[in-house]
Amino acid sequence: MSIPCHIFDSALSAFDFNHWQYHFPVPDECSAKLLEGDHRRVLVWIENEGPYPMALMKSKTYWYVLINQDLRKKFKMQPEQVFTLKMEKDHSDYGHEMPEELQVLMDQDEEGEKYFKSLTPGKQRMMVYTVTKVKNPESRMKKALAIIHHLKLVKGKLDYKQLNEQIKYYNNL
């Protein structure tokens, strides 16, 4: 693994107008070095813990990374509290490591793989994350099966409501 290219302190901030309000501002000189065309994916370490896959976002006046509720709870974050962040470019294909269960299914199912690869990068990341976030290997396999089955049923046109029903069905098998 490469050494993070940027280390800086940032205070947890909040936007007044947005439900995704909690974020860490990123200094312009750091964001300029991390941006690669339209590629804004980064790996972030908070207080030397991580990496957490994120995306650089731009407000009207500065760059930032969003901080979800799970991270806020984990680090007991309070608004304006300062944390040390490390960042590097995320060169992974999906913003997360490809779960073995999903990869094995795609290796065995050309049609499922074709539909997965036809999804936008953001939708691919979401499908990978949906499987990755599950800790139990059996549950990961069920989610991966549900995703591949769903993609084949809908010929690659995601229907999230239907996908959630497929996941529930596979979870009950």
What is the pLDDT at residue 2?
45
Question: Based on the domain organization, do 56 and 107 belong to the same domain?
Answer: no
How far is residue 97's CA from residue 122's CA, in Å, rounded to a whole number?
14
How far is residue 62's CA from residue 65's CA, in Å, rounded to a whole number?
10
The domain of 126 spans 100-171
Chain segment 30-45, per-residue pLDDT in tens? 998 888 777 788 999 9
Question: Based on the domain organization, do 20 and 85 belong to the same domain?
Answer: yes
The total number of structural domains that make up the chain: 2
Chain segment 53-95, per-residue pLDDT in tens? 899 999 889 999 999 999 999 999 999 999 999 999 988 877 7
What is the pLDDT at residue 133?
87
Question: Based on the domain organization, do 152 and 128 belong to the same domain?
Answer: yes
Question: Based on the domain organization, do 122 and 161 belong to the same domain?
Answer: yes
Please state the pTM of the whole predicted model. Answer: 0.67
Which residue among 89, 111, 132 closes a domain?
Answer: 89
pLDDT at 3 over 50: no
What is the pLDDT at residue 167?
92
Nearby residues of 166 by Cβ (< 8 Å), 6 or more positions away: 146, 147, 149, 150, 153
* pLDDT (mean) for 103-130: 92
